[in-house]
């Protein structure tokens, strides 16, 4: 299973939901949705600026991450979602052990 960072910006409808339910209400809703997929929230932060929320999720695969983003996107609550796969240092070590031959363009 992979770990993902989801970044999002609330739509005007999403902001109305925050004002109605508060931040803890949104965290609970996301937690409940992810637990049905077998995932768990490692971190959930609200911010202001270009990004309104940062959520780190563990215990799901790529297809599940996409299903989560599609479900949230279909709700209309977010105007923009960005998903990043996160890797542990040990996973980077394993990747570094895999060798390949590659010829750069023009060489």
pLDDT at 7: 97
C-alpha R_g of the chain: 17
pTM score, two decimals?
0.88
pLDDT at 105: 93
Distance CA 37, CA 6 (A): 16
**Per-residue burial over 33-66, b = 16 or more CB atoms within 10 Å of its CB, e = otherwise:** ebeebebebeebeeeeeeebbebbbebbeeebbe
- 54 bridge partner residues: 7, 45
Question: How much of the chain exceeds pLDDT 90, in percent?
Answer: 91
Residue 25 pLDDT class (50, 70, 90 cuts) = very high
Give how far the C-alpha of residue 90 lies from the chain's centroid of Cα atoms, to the nearest Å. Answer: 21
pLDDT at 1: 79
pLDDT in tens, 53-77: 999 999 999 999 999 999 999 999 9
Angle at which helix 62-75 crosses helix 12-36, to 10 degrees, equals 150
């Amino acid at each position: 299973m992979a770990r993902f960072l989801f970044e999002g910006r609330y739509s005007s409808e999403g902001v109305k939901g925050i004002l109605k339910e508060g931040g803890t209400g949104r965290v609970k809703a996301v937690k409940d949705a992810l637990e049905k997929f077998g995932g768990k929230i490692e971190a959930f932060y609200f911010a202001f600026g270009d990004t309104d929320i940062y959520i780190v999720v563990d215990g799901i695969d790529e297809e599940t991450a996409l299903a989560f983003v599609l479900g949230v996107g279909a709700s209309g609550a977010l105007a923009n979602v960005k998903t990043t796969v996160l890797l542990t240092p040990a996973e980077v070590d394993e990747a570094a052990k895999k060798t390949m031959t590659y010829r750069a363009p023009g060489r």
